[in-house]
Copies of this chain bind each other. A is one copy, B any other.
Amino acid sequence: MSLTLHGYFRSSAAYRVRIALNLKGLSYEQASVHLRKGEQRKPAFLALNPQGMVPALIDGEAVLTQSPAILEYLDEVYPDTPPLLPADPLGRARVRALAAVVACDIHPLNNLRVLKYLTGPMGQSQETMAGWYNHWIAEGFGALETMLSGDAATGRFCHGDAPTLADVCLAPQVFNSFRHALDLTPYPTIQRLWEGYQDHPAFAAAHPAKQPDAE
C-alpha cells in the first residue's frame, strides 16, 4: 500500500492526519499544497478534492478528503495499529465529542479562508480579526477545559493514558492558538496535555515546524 498526504505544514486539518498516521506507524509521502499561494484552487488539486481544501489522503487508488472522515477511515482500515478510539461506545462518544468541539466549533471559524473573508470582502482590521480568532478558541477551550477537568476519564491524554482522536484534534488547535498569543492560563488541563504532546514522538514529528514545506 502507498499513502500520500496532500497537505500544508500549517494546516490544522493536515496536522491532525499527520499525527494519526504517525500514531499508527504508517509511512507516507507528503505533497505540499501551498495555501497562501492558492494552490488548493488549481485544477490539479480540485480534481482530487472539489472542495479545494487540504488534506487529501491518497491510499492506493482511493482519494479521501475531510480530516474527520480520514481519521475514522485510518482507524477502521488499519486495525492492527494502535486504536484512536476506545472500545466502549460511551468512551467512543466522549472522544468524538471532544474532537468535534475542536473540529466543528473552533477550527472552522479560524481557518485561512474565513480570515481572508473577514479582512477582504468584510473589510475588517487585523485587530478585529485577531479578536475574532481568539474569541472562538477561548469559547471552545473554556468548554473543553470543563469537559476534561470534570471527568475522571481524562488521564495523561484526553481519554485515559493513550492518545485518541480527541488529542489528534486538540494538539493542532493548541498550536494554532499561539498565532495571536492566546493566554492559556485559564486552561490548565489543556496546557498539561499540550506539554505531554511535546514528549510524544508521533505528535512531535507531526509539528508544523518539522514538515518539508515549513517556512
Which positions in A face B, CB cutoff 8 Å? Answer: 50-53, 62, 64-70, 72-73, 76-77, 89-90, 92-94, 96-97, 99-101, 103-105, 107-109, 113-114, 117, 121-122, 124, 128, 131-132, 135, 139-140, 143, 146-147, 150
Given A101-B66, A108-B108, A109-B114, A73 contacting B92 (CB threshold 8 A): yes
Report the minimal beta-carbon distance from A193 to chain B, rounded to whole angstroms. Answer: 17
Query: Could you say which of B53, B69, B100, B108 contacts A93, with CB atoms under 8 Å apart?
Result: B69
Determine the chain B residues whose CB is within 8 A of the CB of A107 once the complex forms: 104
* Interface pair B68/A104, CB less than 8 Å apart: yes
Q: What are 8 A-B interface contacts by the 8 Å CB criterion?
A: A51-B101, A51-B143, A67-B100, A68-B100, A69-B93, A73-B92, A108-B109, A113-B139
Docked Cα-Cα span, A73 to B91, in Å, equals: 10
Q: Assuming A50-B146, A104-B103, is B135 touching A97 (CB within 8 A)?
A: no
Q: Please give me the residue from chain B that is nearest to A117 by CB atom.
A: B135
Query: Which residues on B sit within 8 Å (CB–CB) of A114?
Result: 109
Chain B residues with CB under 8 Å of A146's CB are 50
Q: Could you tell me if A100 and B50 are in contact, using CB atoms closer than 8 angstroms?
A: no
The CA of A72 and the CA of B89, in the complex, are separated in Å by 9
Contacting residues, chain B, for A51 (C-beta < 8 A): 101, 105, 140, 143, 147
